[in-house]
Amino acid sequence: MLDVHRLRIFRSVVASGSVAAAASNLGYTPSAVSQHVTALQRETGLTLLERAGRGVRPTAAGLEVAAQADRVLARLGEAEAVVADLRSGRTGRLSIAYFASVGAAWLPRVVRRLTADFPGVRLDLTLSEQIADDPDARPDLQVAVAQTGFRAGAGFVAHHLLDDPYRAVVPADHPRAAAAEVDLADLATERWIDNDFARGWCRRNLLEACTAAGFSPRFDVEAHDYPTAIAMVRAGVGITVLPALGAVDLPPGTASVSVVRPEPVRSIFVVVRDAVARTPAARAAVESLQDAVAAGRPGAGPRRTLPTAGVPAATP
């Protein structure tokens, strides 16, 4: 039987790179840490660490044991969280998945209401771009992008939240910065900044619209997310095109313009598991999302911020 305490100490040694550093982090003496690691090696019958300069590094067997220890300790952490919930009177749990721009724009409102109105419910929040194929792997609620007419599948219901049109984010001194809209084809010769490292549905939707407009955008720079791409725009590197929800709070020196002819649009849904759909917390979460949409629909008009004198290049 492996000792969980020794697994924790061993993982600290692996993460720290030395027995002395692990001892300092844990508040133990180096001798005590060494004794626990030696005991773990005796229990497993494996050599888990080897010397590396002034420190240590895991052997191949040590790496595998460390990976298994991570899983054990994570599961133990979940069990400890449940026990803590029960002790404090929290007996419910609601899991919510969301994608990045929703996390910034809508999720704070949802979490604020749920924590205020349902202090007995633990919220499990997960960043996720895709709806899992396996129904058992899905959270209780998931805010997701899907095509119009999306069906949630057996055991789930989908509520349409928003049709989110795309906008071109350009430097504030760009010739089209003050325009209400721009034809997608007119952006064909621009220097494009990619903003979707995951190559997800939102990017594919944009590329499909560009194809319909008769061109394929040339991505000169690849950014991994919307904020980095917008920072690149502010620095004068090029333009980026993204859903309006990602362009709500633009920094000084940038502007956003509606993209039309064709107008790429993504549809946003909240998918709710039937088993929790009628619970007060789940209903409040859906209502809060709908309120957030109603309170600040993006894309209602040109959004821009005026340049300031000597605006420096943004750091990505």
Q: What is the pLDDT of residues 15-33, one digit of tens each?
A: 999 999 999 999 999 999 9
What is the structure's pLDDT at 297? 56
| Contact assessment for residue 4 and residue 39, using Cβ atoms and an 8 Å cutoff | no
Q: What is the pLDDT of residues 79-104, one digit of tens each?
A: 887 777 666 655 578 999 999 888 88
What is the structure's pLDDT at 88? 60
What is the structure's pLDDT at 296? 72
4-88 and 93-316 agree in CATH topology = no
At residue 98, the 3 state secondary structure works out as strand
Tokens of 277: 């759909």
What is the structure's pLDDT at 250? 92
Grouped pLDDT means (10 residues each) for the chain, 316 residues: 90 92 92 95 94 91 93 86 66 87 90 91 89 91 83 89 95 95 96 86 90 93 92 96 91 96 93 92 95 70 38 32
Domain boundaries, the chain: 4-88, 93-316
Cβ-based neighbours of 139, under 8 Å, separated by 6 or more:
95, 96, 97, 124, 126, 128, 273
Indicate the DSSP class of residue 315: P
What is the structure's pLDDT at 89? 54
Distance between CA atoms of residues 94 and 183, nearest Å: 43
CB atoms within 10 A of CB 67: 11
The sign of the torsion formed by the CA atoms of 28, 33, 36, 37 equals: positive
Distance between CA atoms of residues 170 and 303, nearest Å: 11
Amino acid at 73: L
* Class of 93-316 in CATH: alpha beta
What is the structure's pLDDT at 315? 29
Phi then psi dihedrals of residue 175, to 5 deg: -55, -25
pTM for the full predicted model:
0.66
| Contact assessment for residue 264 and residue 166, using Cβ atoms and an 8 Å cutoff | yes
What is the structure's pLDDT at 122? 86
Which CATH number is correct for 4-88, 3.40.50.10190, 1.10.10.10, 3.40.50.720, 1.10.230.10? 1.10.10.10
Indicate the DSSP class of residue 206: H
Spell out where the chain has E strands.
49-52, 55-58, 92-98, 121-127, 141-146, 156-171, 181-183, 192-194, 219-222, 240-243, 254-260, 265-273, 303-304
What is the structure's pLDDT at 64? 94
| Contact assessment for residue 257 and residue 188, using Cβ atoms and an 8 Å cutoff | no
What is the structure's pLDDT at 148? 66
